[in-house]
Amino acid sequence: MRIPATSYTIERFTLANGLRVVLQPDSSAPVVGVTVVYDVGIRSEPEGRTGFAHLFEHLMFQGSENLEKLAHFKYVQGAGGTFNGSTHFDYTDYYESLPAGALERALFLEADRMRGPRLNEENVANQIDVVKEEIRVNVLNRPYGGFPWLKLPPVMFDTFANSHDGYGSFVDLESATVEGATQFFAEYYATGNAVLAVSGDFEVGHARALVEKHFGDITGRPAPVRPSFAEPDLTAERRASYTDAMAPLPAIALAWRVPDPIAEFADYLPYVLLAEVLTDGEAARLQERMVLRDRTATSVGGYIGFMGEPFEVRDPTALLLQVFMPPGGDADKVLRTVDEEIDRLVTDGLAEGELARIQARFVTHFLRESDAVTNRAVRLAVLELQHGDPALINDLPRLLGEVTEAQIIAAAATLRPQRRASVEVIPGVSA
The Cα–Cα gap between 382 and 207 comes to: 20
Residue partners of 217: CB distance under 8 A and separation at least 6: none
Residues 68 and 122 grouped into a single domain: yes
Q: pLDDT tens digits for 17-36? A: 999 999 999 999 999 999 99
Q: Is 48 within the bounds of a domain?
A: yes
8 Å CB contact between 369 and 375: yes
8 Å CB contact between 149 and 35: no
Residues 208 and 246 grouped into a single domain: no
Q: Is 176 within the bounds of a domain?
A: yes
Q: Where are the alpha helices (DSSP H) in 15-102?
A: 52-59, 71-78
8 Å CB contact between 381 and 244: no
Which whole number is the average pLDDT over 294-303?
Answer: 96
What is the chain's alpha carbon radius of gyration, rounded to the nearest angstrom? 22
Range of the domain at 33: 11-215
Residues 302 and 342 grouped into a single domain: yes
Percentage of the residues of the chain whose pLDDT score is greater than 70: 99
Dihedral pair phi/psi, residue 123, rounded to 5°: -65, -40
Q: Is 230 within the bounds of a domain?
A: no
Residues 204 and 249 grouped into a single domain: no
Residues 305 and 199 grouped into a single domain: no
Q: Is 308 within the bounds of a domain?
A: yes
Q: Is 50 within the bounds of a domain?
A: yes
DSSP 10-38: -EEEE-TTS-EEEEEE-TTSSEEEEEEEE
Q: pLDDT tens digits for 67-96? A: 998 899 999 999 999 999 999 999 999 999
Which whole number is the average pLDDT over 102-110?
Answer: 97
The Cα–Cα gap between 187 and 193 comes to: 9
Residues 35 and 152 grouped into a single domain: yes
Residues 166 and 256 grouped into a single domain: no
Helix (H, G, I), strand (E, B) or coil at 263: coil
CATH number of 371's domain: 3.30.830.10
List beta partners, residue 85: 94
Helix (H, G, I), strand (E, B) or coil at 94: strand
Residues 196 and 300 grouped into a single domain: no
Dihedral pair phi/psi, residue 11, rounded to 5°: -110, 135
Dihedral pair phi/psi, residue 270, rounded to 5°: -60, -30
The Cα–Cα gap between 418 and 420 comes to: 6
The answer, yes or no, to whether residue 267 has pLDDT greater than 80, is yes
Residues 139 and 48 grouped into a single domain: yes
The Cα–Cα gap between 33 and 137 comes to: 30
Residues 207 and 262 grouped into a single domain: no
Residues 262 and 150 grouped into a single domain: no
Domain boundary among 148, 181, 215: 215
Query: Structural domain tally of the chain?
Result: 2
How much is the pLDDT for 431? 43
State which amino acid sits at residue 126: N
Q: pLDDT tens digits for 316-350? A: 999 999 999 999 999 999 999 999 999 999 999 99
Domain boundary among 215, 250, 268: 215
Residues 277 and 338 grouped into a single domain: yes
